[in-house]
Amino acid sequence: MELEPGSGSQSKKGRSDRPTDHLPSPSQSRGVTINGLPREIVVDILSYSPRRPCSEPSSRAAPLTSRGVVPRPSLVFHCDHPLRSQLYFVDDVSGGDGRNRSARKFHPPFSGVTPEFDVVWSSGGLLCLANALYSDNVYVYNPLTGEYRELPDSEGHQRNREMVSGFGFDETEKDYKVIKIVYTIINRNGRLYRVLLCCSKVQVCSLRSLTRRRLGNATHDLEATPSQPLVNRRLHWTTVPVAECMDLRKGRHHLAELGGCLSAAVPSLSGALEIWVMKEHGMKESWIKDYSIGSYLPKGLQNHEHEEYNDPSCKISRILMRKRYGLYVRVLGMLRNGKILLEYHNRALARYDPDRDEAIDLMLEGLPEWFESIVHVSSISRM
């Protein structure tokens, strides 16, 4: 499904052009900054931030510095096991093996009223978080400055709903948009079921104006996924038409954005992870298998990849429940040096180098036992 926010074998080297992030428009908001963020990290982030005032229209362009360098990506880690949602932050995972990098825990200023949340996505230095309890409140939050905006629940607290969300920047209107797809659910003999799609509701919410409008009903039965790549001004939960040679059986592939292109990561029967890239968006003939990452498991997981099955408390984790859709290895994105970030079993990270056809473990300290990773480019811009 596509929705517009405003309406190992030797592998080929990936595309070097990177998608651009956009900065939010200024407005009043509230919050606190990340606790304990070291001064050297703040200085480094500031050195990669735009010098222009954010009130200028051009400040919504890509966050390039005068050196023409795209800001280095950080990682945000979301954990909801064993107790309420938690967030961790690691700055710059571009080089080395991460041994000198430590994850630092931080708390959104609204976590007292929304202790359980899902991370929808990151864009332009902003995180979109959705209430995971009994409302569809959504927060757009800058973890560096602590500022946030709330997009409130329009229908009050209800238990008979399930929400799938998406977040991205609308190039045409120069505004961040949140897509909400709200499904009605019923309890039948102790099991929850979604009712007909004609009873679903699709809304688009504007960060700038804090307004919402209906887009009609959902045309697909979508699942909440850890990513909805924004490519060609469209958010994707499922793929556009695929080539006949691609084996995209339900639950066995996931989508990502690599080098500005829509990509599908597909585990093969041999154990390799094949990454198909759509070179021309919307043209199924343009799908190319650009990467084939051989069967690999980080050293720390070689005897522990199925540990969650022995821990009954893991059954309450929404993150770990997503494993039923086959997301044991997830493509997080491509770094500016062409290397690909991978997450394994919600417990470990690796960086794959397609030129050398090899992966190295990222040995970050202070990570929670289980997590879901989100690539995040920090920005000091105000909302």
Mean pLDDT of 70-80: 84
**Phi and psi at residue 199, to the nearest 5°:** -95, 0
Cis peptide before 82 (omega within 30 of 0): yes
Structure tokens at 362: 């990222």
Indicate whether 180 belongs to any domain: yes
Indicate whether 351 belongs to any domain: yes
Indicate whether 326 belongs to any domain: yes
> Other C-beta atoms within 10 Å of 263: how many?
27
Indicate whether 283 belongs to any domain: yes
| Distance, CA of 263 to CA of 290 (rounded, Å) | 9
Indicate whether 152 belongs to any domain: yes
pLDDT single digits (tens) 186-241: 888 888 888 877 778 899 999 999 888 888 888 888 888 888 899 998 999 888 88
Number of domains comprising the chain = 1
Mean pLDDT of 50-65: 32
What's the whole-model pTM score?
A: 0.79
Domain that holds residue 26: 2-376
Per-residue b or e along 301-323, where b marks 16 or more CB atoms closer than 10 Å to that residue's CB = beeebeebeeeeebeebbbbebb
Indicate whether 193 belongs to any domain: yes
Which pLDDT score is estimated for 13?
38
Query: Average model confidence (pLDDT) for the chain?
Result: 77
Q: 323 or 276: which carries more pLDDT confidence?
A: 276
Indicate whether 381 belongs to any domain: no
Chain centroid offset of residue 242 CA: 23
Confidence of residue 128 (pLDDT cuts 50, 70, 90): very high
Indicate whether 79 belongs to any domain: yes
